[in-house]
Every structure is written in structure tokens, then in C-alpha cells.
Amino acid sequence: MATMESTEFARTYLSPHGPMRMLGGAPALDLANTLHWRDGAEIDCIPSYQDLLIFCIPALLLSENEERALERHAANQPRVARDVHLEVLKLRAALKSWLNVWAKNLARGVTPKPVALRSFHEAIGQAGGSAGLGDILNLQSASANERLYLPLRRSAAAAAMLVLFPSGNDIRQCEADHCGGFFINDSRSKPRRWCSMDGCGNRAKAARYRLAHQK
Ligand SMILES: [Zn+2]
């Protein structure tokens, strides 16, 4: 059973912008959260294919062995790696815009319109390419050229999982100003409001405290 305490010790990705914890509760949500706001600026925690590979380990999108193999492939084929990286960023943008619609509608208690879902389906289809499930499961089954696409194909599969099997339909967005982080609400008693208790949660509490003591 995932508790608030366990999420605070979540798997961590050491991004070029500092540590990022996997707090989304699903690989697709952690991918969406790689682009987020911090101190008033939007930062991208996966600015290169190599960074993407390292992120994929704690996000459970690649094993350590797969990551090592892909790092070698990427060094031999930097142009393909760059293209794949751009494709992942495109998928992430589609994912985030769908999540924005989804979370806002949920907060207002209405069912999201299928239009948003249709364009997201298209983006997932494009990112999945012609890869079959075998290619997505196993690095070795893909052709040499296709191997570098594994992070993209797995990200597409993770996004498809999120749409097909949503966790209780309860995807929420962090309530902290300028955070925008997405997570699955896994708390049954009281709905979770922040992406992290010790980060955004504590900041919100401190702000409330300051406000209350100003009067
Ligand atoms: Zn947050």
C-alpha cells in the first residue's frame, strides 16, 4: 500500500537541474512532470537523448542494461538519437495538454470531451510507430536502427496504458502555484493535493501560516 511516507522516498532521477523524484505514480505522469515550473521558470529535466535515457531508469521505462546498451548505440548514431529525443518531447507536449484538460475537467466534476483524447491518441499512435508489442518489450527484438526508438516506444506504451487503464480515473494536478505537477491520487481518506508533501505541500502550508499571521 502506497502511503504518503513512501512517496517521499520515491525513486529519484538526477537531472541536469537537480534531483527529480518519481512522484506521479505512473511512468507517463513522471514523463509529463519532466517539464515543470520552478522558481518562476519552466525547466526541462530531459534536455538531451542521454538525459532521457537516465530518466528512463527510475521512471521504469528502461532497465539499467537497456540504458547502457542504448547509450552506446546513441554515441554511434547521434542524429537518430536527436530525432528520437525530439519525438519524445512532442509526445510529452501532447500528453501534457491532454492531462491539463483531464485534470481541469475532473476538478470541475465533468467528463473530458473526446476531442482532446482523439488528438492524444494520434500522438500516441505516431510515437508508437510501426513497432509491435514484441519490439516494445524487448530491446533485442528490434532492428539495430529501431533500438534507439525504445524510449519513445515505451513512453507511447506508458501513455496508452494511462488512457486505457486509468488508475481510478483520479489524475490530479498539484495545487501549488507554478508547479503544475501531475500525480495519481492514491490517498483514500483525504485527497492528495500536492505532488510532494515535503516540497509543494510544505510551501503551501508555510504560505498559509504567513498569511494567517499577517492579520
Ligand atoms: Zn507540486
Q: Residue 210 maps to which CATH number?
A: 1.10.3300
pTM of the predicted structure, to 2 decimals: 0.89
**Which tops the pLDDT comparison, 39 or 122?**
122
Q: Can you give the pLDDT at residue 152? A: 97
- Give residue 210's domain range: 4-214
Q: Can you give the pLDDT at residue 214? A: 80
Tell me the pLDDT of the chain averaged across its residues.
Answer: 88
How many whole angstroms from 196 Cα to the centroid of ligand 1? 6
Is 177 a residue whose pLDDT tops 80?
Answer: no
Mean pLDDT within 14-42: 92
Give the 3-state secondary structure of 2-53. Answer: CCHHHHHCCCEEEECCEEEECCCCCHHHHHHCCEEEECCEEEECCCCHHHHH
How many whole angstroms from 19 Cα to the centroid of ligand 1? 14
How many structural domains is the chain composed of? Answer: 1
Q: Can you give the pLDDT at residue 88? A: 98
Work out the percent of the chain whose per-residue pLDDT is above 90. Answer: 53
How many whole angstroms from 141 Cα to the centroid of ligand 1? 39
Q: pLDDT tens digit string along 117-154?
A: 889 999 999 999 988 888 899 888 777 778 999 999 99
78: number of Cβ within 10 Å: 12
